[in-house]
Structure 1
Amino acid sequence: MYLSDPERLIDVYNAIQNENYALDTSIEINTLENVLYKDRINDVSFVLDNKFIVLIEHQSTICENMPLRLLLYIGRLYEKMTTNENIYGRTPIPLEAPEFLVLYNGHENVPKEEIQYLSDVFKEIHWN
């Protein structure tokens, strides 16, 4: 509820990313419902300044599958955003760049910032 107000979203984004977007910057909230599990929503998702799709997830326990979850979220968002587009055509469809933020408030000692890569969980494949 707190982050359903566009001005609060911009304020939180500015604080997390050390940015200075004006509170009247264009923002479109697009949080998905029924993602991954029935009756589940991703925490917060919005398009900021027609440039970025920002996905903010909050967790109180460590989840090593966040890169996979965020991939699934962004895929569903792009699918939703391109329903009226010809994805099989030759003309590229311009997309907002994704920006993924995970906020953690659990009890485990973790680095202040960490980058997780989806490729870290790929099975090892030997190509012949």
Structure 2
Amino acid sequence: MEAKHFMEEKPSIEKTQSMEEKELHVVKKHKDTVFRMLYNDREKLLELYNALNGTVYEDTGDLEICTLENAIYMGFKNDVSFLFDSEMCLYEHQSSFNPNMPLRDLFYISRQLQKYVVGKTLYSSKLVQIPVPRFVVFYNGTQEQPERRLLRLSDAFEKKVSSPELEVTVTMLNINLGKNRELMEKCKTLREYCMFVECIRKYAAQMDIEEAVEHAVTECIRNDILADFLSAQRAEVIAMS
């Protein structure tokens, strides 16, 4: 009887708050996962790379995606990591401002570079060459942020120094609609991704998130916004909510 009574007991305020926090976490993460799925496509990823760097590469054969899929490191996942043109690029999507991205990327790039130099000796007189690290964060949260912002590891140092002996610089780009127009004009996929997120927000203000995603997916397919991707991944995108 006591066990039955315990099972029927209403959840405490603390448990209710914990459940609400988990629900909010899921809502917040779904855009990150859609971004990761979207740019797991090499052609779309090369399009984004070209838009960011002013290049016109067309051959995706040399583009190697090296994201640590399904591997949690220091409690987080990287969205998109790839090798191309002697660069190791880490692209992240963030729906809230995170000033700790340089430290996160330092941990991540260290792990990737360890994998990259496996089999090479670091104790010889020959210089071991490594790809150039590039870090970009695509921000589309509701908190006001400038179009472009540089995040530096040295900003986190407990003591300020004029010439840091260790530095990581991360470029944060605001990709909310109306921001970074030149980039959006160059990258159709990124522009349409932002339109999809805005569509979800529009419906989420009127209904629960799962229904909002359903409506947004349907509307975007009808208006030819990420239509091929959303048509093919409809169930997965909706399930992420």
TM-score computed with the length of structure 1 as normaliser: 0.87
Q: Which amino acid aligns with 1:124?
A: K
CA distance in 2, matches of 1:9, 1:26: 12
Q: Which amino acid aligns with 1:97?
A: V
Query: Which residue of the partner structure matches residue 36 of structure 1?
Result: 74
1:2 Cα offset (Å):
1.8
Percentage identity across paired residues of the two chains? 37
Instruction: Indicate yes or no: 2:46 matched with 1:10.
Output: yes
Q: Secondary structure at the match of 1:47?
A: strand
Q: Secondary structure at the match of 2:111?
A: helix
TM-score computed with the length of structure 2 as normaliser: 0.48
- Decide whether the 8 Å contact of 2:67 with 2:78 is kept in 1: yes
Query: Which residue of the partner structure matches residue 62 of structure 2?
Result: 26
Structure of greater Rg: 2
Q: How many residues align?
A: 123
Query: Which residue of the partner structure matches residue 77 of structure 1?
Result: 112
Match of 2:153 among 76, 98, 118: 118
Higher strand share: 1
Q: Which amino acid aligns with 1:57?
A: E
Higher helix share: 2
The two structures, once aligned, show a CA RMSD in angstroms of 1.7
1:123 Cα offset (Å):
1.2
1:116 Cα offset (Å):
1.1
Match of 1:62 among 84, 94, 97: 97
1:25 Cα offset (Å):
5.4
Query: Which residue of the partner structure matches residue 129 of structure 2?
Result: 94
- Decide whether the 8 Å contact of 1:29 with 1:45 is kept in 2: yes
- Decide whether the 8 Å contact of 2:88 with 2:131 is kept in 1: yes
Unaligned runs of 5+ in 1: none
Q: 1:125 to 1:64 in 2, by over 3 A?
A: closer
Unaligned runs of 5+ in 2: 1-36, 162-241
Higher RCO (CA 8 Å, separation ≥ 6 residues) = 1
- Decide whether the 8 Å contact of 1:27 with 1:48 is kept in 2: yes
1:8 Cα offset (Å):
1.3
CA distance in 1, matches of 2:141, 2:54: 23
CA distance in 1, matches of 2:48, 2:133: 17
| Displacement over 4 Å in runs of 4+ | none
CA distance in 2, matches of 1:122, 1:24: 39
Q: Which amino acid aligns with 1:66?
A: M
CA distance in 2, matches of 1:103, 1:117: 16
